[in-house]
């Protein structure tokens, strides 16, 4: 029970370490007959990969993916499709610099998983954090690309950075088209220059800050998810919280719901002209009773500051001696700057799994207002 896997009918297992020869994932449970090539996956990995701006780690990793199994040529379409067998994906590490960590091989870095891993296993990979490194998220993005194929073009998943440190965007200027056009995934173009100056100062000071990523999935029909122990919001929160450096998840209004009245929090409903359900608001984040409502599924993820900083911190080593730790190497002043594609990928994996479970239990049908027979 090493818990390197998640999902139910769509089962994803990630493997590999930050400074190992490679990392990757195995995606099991993908239906057969879906077009899938390395290019379909690479487009998402390119959005996450390091070294793309001065505000992220300068580790130069092409993140070139290889499909090792689970696809084959389809004579009917003259293309490559999934076979229904496990899809194995591999991404080689080509620019790891393990010597950067030799001085702290026996030190427990504050804020890292060093001590927790050592306390549990009695051994740990100190090179870049091993499995606890954000490098692991490349495998999640690769799996998310497969999940998007299952979901189809009708479900649109998009994420944006909405707060860096104490500086939040102006939501009145929100423009989704701007998010992929800047190094911060910022939907408010006027905040980009503010974050640039702010993060420049943070980086020069040898420090780091946290951030918040917001994600939404549009086009999710009503009916996905399950009551009580497989609630869609619980599965989503679990998937998002499993991302390295994530410390909090909100669904819909989240913590703000605690300050609302029942009248303000309730998403009032009416029938639209086509018999569809129309909601007056979306405080529920598109999920009621653990089941999707047809509204956009929304969530926010808070990420802690990057733990690897240039300023010395007090700690102890494996012998119990008190020491000061100063972390060398190439690190992000804000780890969440590359988190938007990872958050999107986890949303995709959770939703694709929910789609497959919904079909398995119900055959894919869902309540449609105005129809004869409610199910």
Neighbouring CB atoms inside 10 A of 83's CB total 18
pLDDT at 56: 59
Give the sign of the dihedral formed by CA 264, CA 267, CA 269, CA 272. positive
Give the sign of the dihedral formed by CA 237, CA 238, CA 239, CA 240. positive
In terms of Cβ atoms closer than 10 Å to its own Cβ (0-12, 13-18, 19+), residue 179 is: buried
C-alpha to C-alpha distance for 28 and 328, rounded to whole angstroms? 38
Q: If you write DSSP's letter for every residue of 314-325 in order, what string do you get?
A: EEEBTT--EEEE
C-alpha to C-alpha distance for 59 and 330, rounded to whole angstroms? 6
Return averaged pLDDT per consecutive 10 residues of the chain, 375 residues in all: 89 93 96 96 90 58 92 88 98 72 83 92 83 91 98 98 98 96 95 96 92 98 95 98 97 98 97 94 98 98 92 92 81 88 98 97 62 32
C-alpha to C-alpha distance for 28 and 8, rounded to whole angstroms? 10
C-alpha to C-alpha distance for 203 and 305, rounded to whole angstroms? 12
- For 321, phi then psi, to 5°, come to -75, 140
Strand-pair category, 291-292 with 322-325: unpaired
Q: Which residue has the tokens 């610099």?
A: 97
pLDDT at 375: 30
Q: Which residue has the tokens 């390091």?
A: 50
Residue 311 per-residue DSSP state: S
Residues 374, 365 contacting (CB under 8 angstroms): no
Residues 66, 89 contacting (CB under 8 angstroms): yes
- For residue 47, what is the enclosing H or E element? helix 38-48
Q: Which residue has the tokens 């974050």?
A: 195
C-alpha 283, offset from chain centre: 22
- Nearest C-alpha neighbor of 208 from the set 275, 139, 287, 112: 112
In angstroms, the Cα distances linking 223 to 61, 104, 358, 364 are: 40, 50, 7, 9
SS3 310: coil
């Amino acid at each position: 029970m090493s818990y390197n896997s998640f999902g139910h009918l769509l089962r994803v297992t990630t493997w590999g370490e930050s400074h190992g020869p490679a990392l990757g994932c195995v995606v099991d449970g993908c239906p057969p007959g879906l077009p899938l090539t390395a290019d379909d996956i690479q487009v998402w990995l390119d959005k996450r990969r390091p070294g793309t701006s001065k505000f992220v780690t300068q580790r130069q990793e092409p993140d070139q993916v290889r499909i090792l199994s689970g696809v084959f040529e389809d004579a009917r379409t003259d293309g490559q499709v999934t076979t229904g067998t496990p899809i194995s994906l591999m991404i080689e590490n080509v620019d790891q610099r393990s010597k950067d960590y030799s001085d702290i091989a026996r030190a427990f870095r504050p804020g890292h998983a060093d001590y927790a891993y050592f306390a549990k296993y009695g051994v740990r990979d100190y090179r870049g954090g091993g499995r606890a490194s954000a490098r692991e998220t490349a495998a999640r993005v690769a799996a998310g690309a497969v999940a998007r194929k299952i979901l189809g073009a009708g479900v649109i998943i998009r994420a944006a950075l909405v707060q860096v440190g104490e500086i939040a965007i102006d939501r009145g200027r929100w423009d989704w088209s701007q998010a992929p056009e800047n190094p911060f995934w910022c939907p408010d173009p006027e905040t980009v220059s503010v974050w640039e100056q702010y993060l420049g100062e943070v980086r020069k000071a040898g420090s780091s800050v946290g951030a918040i990523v917001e994600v939404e999935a549009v086009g999710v029909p009503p009916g996905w998810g399950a009551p009580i122990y497989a609630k869609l919001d619980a599965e989503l929160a679990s998937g998002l919280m499993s991302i390295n450096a994530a410390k909090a998840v909100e669904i819909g209004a989240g913590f703000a719901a605690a300050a609302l009245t029942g009248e303000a929090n309730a998403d009032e409903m009416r029938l639209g002209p086509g018999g569809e359900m129309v909601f007056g608001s979306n405080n529920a984040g598109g999920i009621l009773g653990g089941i999707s409502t047809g509204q956009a599924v929304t969530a926010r993820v808070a990420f802690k500051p990057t733990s690897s900083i240039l300023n010395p911190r007090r700690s102890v080593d494996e012998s119990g001696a008190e020491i000061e730790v100063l972390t060398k190497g190439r690190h992000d002043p804000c780890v969440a700057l590359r988190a938007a594609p990872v958050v999107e990928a986890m949303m995709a994996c959770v939703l694709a799994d929910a789609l497959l479970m919904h079909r398995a239990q119900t055959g894919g049908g869902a309540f449609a207002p105005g129809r004869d027979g409610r199910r």
